[in-house]
Amino acid sequence: MEEKKATILIVDDVMINIGLLEDILEDLGYDTISASSAAEATALLKEKLPQMVLLDIMMPDINGYEFCRMLKENPHTRDIPVIFVSASESDDEMERAFEIGGVDFIRKPFSVIEIKTRVSTHLNIYRLKHELQESNRKLHSVVSEQSKKFNNEKKRILEKIARLKSSGSKDNDEIEKLALNARMLAQALNFTEKYESQISTAFVDGIEIAGVIRNIDYKIVEIIFSEDEKNAAVTTSVDVIKSYRENWDGSGSPEGLKGEEIPLAARIIRIVDEFAQGISKGHTREECFENMKADRGKVFDPYLLDLFLRIKKQIK
């Protein structure tokens, strides 16, 4: 924003004051819009946002203090600098103006040089603040994109490590199917009464990753991802690696967990992993489903297993 292209809103109920300020500001190269009341000013703000507001205190409908407070409470106008212009000689009035968000206070009668200096200073600050915000936004976008690419590369490394533990294209194909089944079951939870809209995209992504890397040491994951990189997807993967062999009823569980003590992600992977193992042993799909029903409430979370069976036509 070039300073000389700035638009300044003048709010004063005395037309002579508005005319005087308009003449001064327009001679200095600024565009001006004006209002004789807070209501009129509010209507103008809906049409165009200025880069500064020169605001009188005493007005007929809403006084300048209340109008300034309204501006600061609105996310669209809160950053606009407000300079109070008042005939008041009271230091208390000036103090109150600063307390509610004014950036400066000009007493009437004012001089051209005073208006020029105060307005120019605060417009420059406003411009620099916006330039800094835009630079920070662009920097954040670049850093986020680079971080995303970096984390995706780390995920690919984990997947390659996991595949080294398998042999042959058949095994890799089974891994892909298991990961896809895990994703479908996790997504289906969002449409159940118990988990409605509670399953995040990061959780679903973590489930899919976990389906691939479930058999590697979780310490490898924690080494590859630093603490500040451990997002929901990474945490979900670690939960699965640690706990997916736990039984729902706690019998024979490696970590001694049972029921909902077992992380949700681990309970999901336990179900799709059991199905994958059944298929790899040569059982038919229906045989796998029937065998799993026998362990409902023992090995498997009954709520999740029931959902798995309801979507069995989509299972790969």
Asked if pLDDT for residue 2 goes beyond 50, the answer is no
What are the pLDDT digits (tens) for 112-170?
899 999 999 999 999 888 888 888 887 777 656 765 665 566 666 666 665 655 544 44
Asked if pLDDT for residue 226 goes beyond 90, the answer is no
**Alpha carbon of 308 to those of 44, 288, 293, 313, 314: distances in Å?**
58, 12, 11, 10, 9
> What is the side-by-side order of every strand in the sheet holding 7-11?
31-35, 7-11, 52-55, 82-86, 104-107
For 265, phi then psi, to 5°, come to -60, -40
If asked whether residues 273 and 196 sit together in one domain, one would say: yes
| Of 62, 58, 17, residue with least CA distance to 42 | 62
Q: Which domain holds residue 261?
A: 165-314
If asked whether residues 184 and 131 sit together in one domain, one would say: no
Angle at the Cα of 158 from the Cα atoms of 155 and 160, rounded to 5 degrees? 110
| CATH for 23 | 3.40.50.2300
- Which of 137, 154, 182 is at the close of a domain? 137
If asked whether residues 213 and 80 sit together in one domain, one would say: no
Task: Indicate the average pLDDT of the chain.
Answer: 84
- Which of 137, 154, 184 is at the close of a domain? 137
Q: Is residue 142 part of a domain?
A: no
Between these two residues, 283 and 133, which has the higher pLDDT value? 283
Q: What is the pLDDT of residue 3?
A: 45
Between these two residues, 248 and 219, which has the higher pLDDT value? 248
Tokens read off for 66 = 């209340």
pTM > 0.85: yes or no: no
Between these two residues, 9 and 253, which has the higher pLDDT value? 9
Q: What is the pLDDT of residue 155?
A: 64
Average pLDDT over residues 275-291: 92
What are the pLDDT digits (tens) for 52-98?
999 999 888 889 999 999 999 999 999 999 999 988 888 899 999 99
- Bridge-based pairing of strands 7-11 and 31-35 is parallel
Tokens read off for 252 = 């024979």
| CATH for 232 | 1.10.3210.10
What are the pLDDT digits (tens) for 27-47?
989 999 999 999 999 999 999
Q: What is the pLDDT of residue 168?
A: 45
Tokens read off for 281 = 């042993």
What are the pLDDT digits (tens) for 191-222?
998 988 788 887 887 787 777 777 676 676 66
Least confident of 10-14, 37-41, 235-239: 235-239
Assess contact for 125 and 81: CB atoms under 8 A: yes
The 8-class DSSP code of residue 115 comes to: H
If asked whether residues 13 and 75 sit together in one domain, one would say: yes
Asked if pLDDT for residue 108 goes beyond 60, the answer is yes
